[in-house]
Amino acid sequence: MKVPLTPLDFLERARRHFGPLEAVVETDGFNAGRRYTYSQFAERAHRLAHALRRGFHCQPGDRVAYLAPNTPELLEAYFGVVLAGCVLVPLNIRLSAAEVQRLVDDCSPSVLVVHPSLAGVAATVTGPRHLDIGPGYEALLEAQPPDLYDAVPPDEGSVCEIFYTSGTTGRPRGAMLTHRALATHAVDSALTLGIHHRDVQLHTSPLFHVNGWGTPHYITAVGARHVLCERFDPGVVLRCVETEGVTRRSIVPAMAQSILDHPDLPQRNVGSLRQVTIGGAPPPEGLIAALEKALDCEVVGGYGLTEASPQLTKALTLRSHDAAGSDTQMQRKATTGLPMVGVDLRVLDDEDREVVWDGITPGEICVRSNHVMAGYWGDQDATAEALRGGWLRTGDLATVNDEGYVMIIDRRKDVIVSGGENIASVEVEAALCAHPSVLEASVVAMPDQRWGEVPRAFVVLHPGMTASDEELKEAVRSRLARFKAPRVVELVEELPRNSTGKVLKADLRARPLPAATEIRS
C-alpha cells in the first residue's frame, strides 16, 4: 500500500517512540523555562488541530498565518496546523504592519496567530480572525479533547506550507511547499548533515527564515531536542550552548561575527558543539577559520532558497581531501558547496547546456528536486518563468570546479558590465573582505560615461580599524584584474538590510555620490 509522504509522520514517530524524552526547551522570552516531552509536544499539536477545526471552523486548505518569534507555539504549528488539514504561513516578524497586511491580503488566512511582542504590528492588520498567544491560547488548547486529532491522510502533492520570499528582486511571493517536498527535504537534509537522535539543535535562525524552517521536521523525525531562542542574542546563544549541551546550530555571517566578538566567548564551555552551518550569504574563508578555531567544531557553509524548501548545497569536504593541507580544505569549505542528497543541481548557460567544470565558465544555477516548490501562490506567470523547462531557475550565477563544487559569483541582476567585460560584485566583495580592516563590503554598479558601468563599493570596517579608500582599491587590484577595482569606495557604519538580513543593493545603487567624489574615466 502506498503511503503519502508527509512531515506529519515525523511527529507520530516521535510521539510513539520518544514520548518520555525531552523535546522542546524555551530558553528566553516571556515564558522562558518551559520544557515539553515529545508526548506533551504532540498532545499540544493535536489540541491545536482540534482548536482550529472546532473553535475557528477552519476547513482543509485554509491558510493559518503566524506572526511569532521562535517559541513553542510556532514550533508546534508546524504540525498542529497541518494536522488540521490547513496550510501554515509563518510571517516575517521584522516586517512593518503595512507589509504584513500586504502578505495577509495576498494569501487570505482564516486565522492570524500573534505573539504578544508583536501585538502592536498586528493591531491594524485586518481580514483574518486573530488568536493571541498567551493565557487565551493556552485556555483554548486546554478546552480541546485530549484524544488525537483524526487527521485525514493528505495528498502528498497538496500544499503544506507557504513561505514568502524576501522580495529583494520584486514584491514578495508565496512559495507553495507540498507535503512531499517538505518530507523529502527533511530526510535528505538529515542524511547530508548526519543528524541523529542525540543531537541538540539550537534554533537561533528565525523559524520563518530559510535558515530555520526546514529544521523542525528533521529534528523531530529523529527524536532529537529543540532548544528555542526567541530572538538572536550572542550572549544568550553562548549560554544556551553551555547549559543545554547544544550540538548544532544554524546562523548567518552577521550572527557568526557577533558571536566571535562577544566578550563571554572565552569563558563559555562550547565543547558540546559538533557542527555549525552558515547560510544567507557566502562566508569568507577567514570567518570559517575563525569560527572553527573559536568553537572547535565543523563549520559548514551552504546555499538554498525559499523556492527549494530551502537547502540545496553544503560545502562539505570529501574523504579525498583528508590528506590535503588545511588551505585546500578551507578552499572547499568557502565554496557554495556540493549538491545535497536528493538535489539535481546544474549550472547551465543561456542555451540550457551544462557549463564546463573548469571553475571559470559561468552559468545560472538550475535545480530539479522533490524539494522544489509547486509554484507561487496566485501567480501563474511568475511560476511559469521560475520553473521554465522543468528546472527551478534561481537567478544565481555560478561556476563549477573540477570536483563539482559550485561557487556563486553573483546574482544575474548584480553583474556589473564595464566596457563589455563582466565583473562579479561577489568577487570584488571577497577581495575587499580579505583586507584585515574590513568587516563587510557590498559592491554595486554605478553609471560611467566611458565604460557604461563601473564598480562602487560600500565598506564597513572592524571597530577601531582604519583603511583609506585608495588602500582598499589597491587591495582589490592586488588580487583581481585592475579594471575590477572599485572606482569609488565609501566607508559606512552599516549596510542597509531587509527584514531577513540581506543587503539592499537597490538602496545602495540609489544613493547619491559624495559631493567631493571625483570620477575619472
CATH number, residue 458: 3.30.300.30
Statement to judge: residues 87 and 31 lie in one domain: yes
Kindly state whether residues 201 and 303 are assigned to the same domain.
yes
> Is the same domain home to 439 and 395?
no
186 contacts 10 by C-beta, under 8 angstroms? yes
For residues 354-389, one letter each, b for 16 or more C-beta atoms within 10 angstroms of the residue's C-beta and e for the rest, the string is ebebeeeebbbbbbebbbbbbbbbeeeeebeebbee
Assigned domain for 446 exists: yes
Say yes or no: 303 and 435 in one domain.
no
Residues 391 and 259 in one domain: yes
Q: Is 430 part of any domain?
A: yes
SS3 58: coil
Based on the fold, state whether residues 208 and 271 are members of the same structural domain.
Answer: yes
**What pLDDT was estimated at residue 159?**
98
Same domain flag for 433 and 328: no
Q: Which segments of the chain have a pLDDT < 50? A: 518-521
pTM of the model: 0.86
* pLDDT for the residue numbered 163: 96
Q: Are residues 435 and 485 in the same domain?
A: yes
Residue 517's pLDDT is what? 53
Q: Examine residue 205 and state whether it is found in any structural domain, yes or no.
A: yes
Structural domain contains residue 142: yes
The tally of domains found in the chain comes to: 2
Report H helices in 125-214: 135-142, 179-193
The answer as to whether 145 is a domain residue is: yes
Same domain, 66 and 185: yes
Q: Tell me: do 110 and 178 sit in the same domain.
A: yes
| pLDDT given at position 518 | 47
Are residue 235 and residue 204 in the same domain, yes or no?
yes
169 & 255 share domain: yes
**209 lies in a domain?**
yes
Alpha-carbon distance of 369 to 390, in angstroms, equals 10
- The reply to whether 114 falls in a domain is yes
Q: What is the CATH number of the domain that holds 45?
A: 3.40.50.12780
User: What angle, 0 to 180 degrees and rounded to 10, lies between the N-to-C axes of helices 215-222 and 179-193?
Assistant: 70
In-domain check, residue 405: no
Boundaries of domain holding 334: 8-400
